[in-house]
Amino acid sequence: GIVVAREARSRGTTWILGPNLDLAREPRWGRMDEMYGEDPYLVSRLGVAAITGLQGGARPIGADHVLATAKHFAAHSQPESGANGAPVNVSERILRSEFFAPFEAAIHEASIASVMAAYNEIDGVPGHINSWLLRDVLRDEWHFDGVVISDGAGIERLESVHRVSQSRPESARKALTAGIDYEIGTTFLELASEVAAQRAPTARVDEAVQRVLAAKFELGLFDAPPLDPAAAARVNNAEPH
């Protein structure tokens, strides 16, 4: 993790979309190779170690480290038929005792800076609008204060895949309200008009913006010196690494 962070930062990368803390429970799923294993304890220990290496042992994050992202919250890795993003049939007891464990460890033991929502549905609710996961559990129970990020095009899929939205503005509004702070995609461009029309709460936009800005300030992005290509060339693939 330390080596990955140092090499990434030398080239201007400040945010890593990993580690993957899903439990490898569905061998037909094409993303099994991303995960550390099927056991919650093993995944928790490896996840905490990876996050500590990427972010450093303490906050704020130093100049040779990066923001890490715990993904995918939650139970993304046991989809029906092994299809990526398919519904997951799982009880709250199994969620809390198994699938949640690596994420709770990432927050409480490693001060993870960001958490990524999941493509799947639980009890018919897509992960990107599951306010129970993103607000009740993450924020209220575990006191996570970092950035909640979408998966790639995850908010667009609310309309195109999950059919719980009828438009891009509606998808953006629902995801923001449920707890997504930052999007990998373009639907959040609709939020300006949604706020102007008083369909999206300004206070929630402010909350999301504050979290993203706090992460940028922690990384020192507003006063960072220019990148040094020669230094990056020396660091990347160096023999010790």
Residues with a catalytic annotation lie at 151
Spatial contact of 26 and 78, defined as CB atoms under 8 Å apart:
yes
Spatial contact of 218 and 146, defined as CB atoms under 8 Å apart:
no
Is 172 exposed, middle or buried (CB count within 10 Å of its CB: 0-12, 13-18, 19+)? buried
Spatial contact of 110 and 47, defined as CB atoms under 8 Å apart:
yes
Spatial contact of 66 and 54, defined as CB atoms under 8 Å apart:
yes
Residue 74, preceding peptide bond in cis (omega within 30° of 0): yes
